[in-house]
Structure 1
Amino acid sequence: MIGIGVIGYGYWGPNLVRNFAQVTGGQMVAVCDQNASRLDTVNKLYPALNTYDDVKAFLKDPALDAVVVATPVTTHYPLAKMALEAGKHVFVEKPFTSTSEEGRELVALGDERNLTVMVDHTFIYTSAVRKIHELNSSGQLGQLYYYDSVRVNLGLFQSDVSVMWDLAVHDLSIMDYLLDRDPLTVAATGVAHVAGQPENMAYITCMFPDNLIAHFHVNWLAPVKVRQTLVCGSEKMVVFDDVDMSEKVKVYDKGVTFDDDESMEYQRRVGYRSGDMWAPRLDNIEALAVETQHFVDCIRTGETPLSDGRAGLRVVNILEAAHRSMESSGLPIPIEPMREVTAS
């Protein structure tokens, strides 16, 4: 039985504790938080758990095998490093770390000590995203042309991270999983409408080989909540609307065909195809339940997690490039091919 402890019982911590308390092959044993009132809540809801307000004492709990870090991003690296050095497997909230250098160190430390390092990229464990991955990997979408994502709403303004590090990390992790390739360049623009605070809206563009382009719009200052992604292929197109409770994924048999004969007039070379739309059946399973079980299973079997430290590192690398681009007024920034680097 894998003993699991959570550091941080703030916004996301309660969801993690609830799900890890229900996994097969693992059990919650401890929670650590500096806030006494939060620990009082834990004691009332889970009286069998050990509670700590000191990380060092928490890591010495003899029943602890794995540590879940659900704290502000600036603390991810030091806490995860402490856990790994104490011989614990780690599950880190998104984004993985504040810098790619920190991420590299944690990945290397996990490899060195043969410990599982996993990042909380929750969306790739949703039935909707997994279905789109199935459609793409089976070739049903054909050659991919573009990936377009919008994630906007009114609030919640963050003071410690920009909207890119808060919202775009979700969509970048989905893109990383679905496309399974590295971008060549990243360009970004954004603005902060609150003086002295991080950017509250941003646009990010990733360029890939073969004219594949991915674009992201993230915004804390929108009148409506939109969570929509379009994936366009040569054979089919997909719309993923996370706000739609009944048909989150819609597959359209629509597209264009091109005549390769350059001697023909342009208008005659382009044809349009408009077929049926269908919405695949999706399992109604909480993504976090799938993800937490996956973490425990990977510890027990030695399997590499779907969202391992390398996946977290790739997303952080893109975010860093986007930040540098934003500081350079949107100049495209060449990006390191992380799959080649991290596989070595």
Structure 2
Amino acid sequence: MTHEKLRIAVVGAGYWGPNLARNFSTSPDWDLVAICDLDRDRAERVANQVGQVPVVTSLDELLSSDDLDAIAIATPARTHYPIAMQALAAGKHVVVEKPLADSTSNGQAMVLEAATRGLILMADHTYCYTPAVLKIRELIAAGDLGEILFIDSVRINLGLIQPDVDVFWDLAPHDLSILDFVLPGGLRPTAVAAQGADPLGAGRSCIGYLTLPLESGAIAHIHVNWLSPTKIRQMVIGGTKRTLVWDDLNPQQRLSVYDRGVDLGKQSAGRTDRRDANISYRLGDTWSPALPEREALSTMAAEFAASIRSGQPSRTDGEAGLRVLSVLEAASRSLADSGSAVPPTQGDRQMETAR
């Protein structure tokens, strides 16, 4: 592929579609050529905000165009699978907002269809393209935190209770995609345990806690909540060398790295049990990495274009989306089984075996 601009349409002009349209319209890699939505008035409002691009209400009409390289899907999760499959069958590259699909089986079908046709399927795991999360990934990969021991994530606010999904499927994909992005080898928990509560009688969990033991022996915990009067977006990642705190609502100091922790000294002669080790506490410096200011969606748009041009998967490809889906489905099974720990559906590993 040359470096001429690629042509993309945004499908869905609701909550997320305008953000995608704005970033694709200003990207040096893309020409935004259409906004597609069943509601013409809503689509026209978005189109007018980004230079009065054409409006289409028929997906069939949109995908029949030979002058279209890709689509960005920003519609309800239950529609991701049929829209993506139709677009892939029409030879278009696809980026899909989170979650990739409404089930692991549908996500697998999307990944296989894209691979069969030699097309790029990308999950719009937007947080993975923020400067803060890119820096976290860099620090972990460089070994600056040491061996990861625990991850504690909180994503709570007074939010809109969704009519079709619970709080896990609404908010947890953000945290799960971040963990999949920053952990070496991706997110591969050995089990998933979910506890949820519905104190309002909404018919679905409005408050939730996820516990994920990881293959390395570390443990991750995620708290999501629609009912909190305060908004918190915070993640703590503890390692054997240092601990990192990410506060996404603190623009002056989003990341803090603490050279503090617990050190296990040498065991007594002839003993190998860590319980016999001498314990000491390390109290070192705290520092905050400098971060560039740029919009995550603009970086995502550039990554999508680069992936299409190179033919290489993006860092948040369809298989990353499958790993997140496998945890969400396991969380639903755990909730149905009174919070018991259940194994995740290893969708991405099944895909690797199939290939």
- Whole-angstrom CA distance in 2 between matches of 1:21 and 1:116: 20
- Whole-angstrom CA distance in 2 between matches of 1:46 and 1:132: 33
**Residue of structure 1 equivalent to 2:237:** 231
**Pairing partner for 2:316 from 307, 314, 319:** 307
**Residue of structure 1 equivalent to 2:286:** 277
Q: Does the 8 Å CA contact 2:330/2:345 hold for their aligned counterparts?
A: no
| 1:83-119 C-alpha deviation (Å, 9 max, x unpaired) | 0011100010101100000000000000000000001
- Whole-angstrom CA distance in 1 between matches of 2:102 and 2:258: 38
**Closer, same or farther: CA 338–254 of 1 in aligned 2, 3 Å:** farther
**Residue of structure 2 equivalent to 1:332:** 341
**Pairing partner for 2:37 from 33, 36, 52:** 33
Q: CA deviation at 1:38?
A: 1.1
- Whole-angstrom CA distance in 1 between matches of 2:216 and 2:320: 23
Q: CA deviation at 1:193?
A: 2.5
**Alignment partner of 1:287 is 2:296:** yes
Aligned positions of 1:106-255 closer than 5 A = 106-179=110-183, 180-255=186-261
What code does the residue aligned with 1:120 have? Answer: D
**Pairing partner for 1:341 from 325, 329, 350:** 350
**Residue of structure 2 equivalent to 1:76:** 80
What code does the residue aligned with 1:269 have? Answer: N
- List gaps (5 residues or longer) in structure 1: none
- Whole-angstrom CA distance in 1 between matches of 2:268 and 2:223: 36
| 1:187-234 C-alpha deviation (Å, 9 max, x unpaired) | 001012232432111000111134200000000001200000000000
Q: How many residues align?
A: 344
Q: Does the 8 Å CA contact 2:329/2:344 hold for their aligned counterparts?
A: no
**Closer, same or farther: CA 217–160 of 1 in aligned 2, 3 Å:** same
Q: CA deviation at 1:44?
A: 2.8
| 1:128-163 C-alpha deviation (Å, 9 max, x unpaired) | 011111111111111111010000001121111111
Percent identity over paired residues: 41
**Closer, same or farther: CA 252–85 of 1 in aligned 2, 3 Å:** same
What code does the residue aligned with 1:271 have? Answer: S
**Alignment partner of 1:105 is 2:114:** no
- Whole-angstrom CA distance in 2 between matches of 1:254 and 1:32: 51
- Whole-angstrom CA distance in 2 between matches of 1:327 and 1:282: 42
Q: Does the 8 Å CA contact 2:235/2:247 hold for their aligned counterparts?
A: yes
| 1:274-318 C-alpha deviation (Å, 9 max, x unpaired) | 100000000101111100111111111212111100000110010
Q: Does the 8 Å CA contact 2:153/2:236 hold for their aligned counterparts?
A: yes
- Structure 1 stretch 255-264 or stretch 214-223: which is displaced more? 255-264
**Residue of structure 2 equivalent to 1:13:** 17
Q: Does the 8 Å CA contact 2:193/2:331 hold for their aligned counterparts?
A: yes
- Whole-angstrom CA distance in 1 between matches of 2:50 and 2:352: 41
- List gaps (5 residues or longer) in structure 2: none
- Structure 1-normalised TM-score? 0.96
- Structure 1 stretch 55-64 or stretch 88-97: which is displaced more? 55-64
Q: Does the 8 Å CA contact 2:189/2:214 hold for their aligned counterparts?
A: yes
What code does the residue aligned with 1:40 have? Answer: E
- Whole-angstrom CA distance in 2 between matches of 1:196 and 1:215: 24
**Residue of structure 1 equivalent to 2:325:** 316
**Closer, same or farther: CA 138–47 of 1 in aligned 2, 3 Å:** closer
Q: Does the 8 Å CA contact 1:7/1:71 hold for their aligned counterparts?
A: yes
- Whole-angstrom CA distance in 1 between matches of 2:28 and 2:229: 42
Q: CA deviation at 1:336?
A: 4.2
What code does the residue aligned with 1:197 have? Answer: G
- Whole-angstrom CA distance in 2 between matches of 1:17 and 1:106: 23
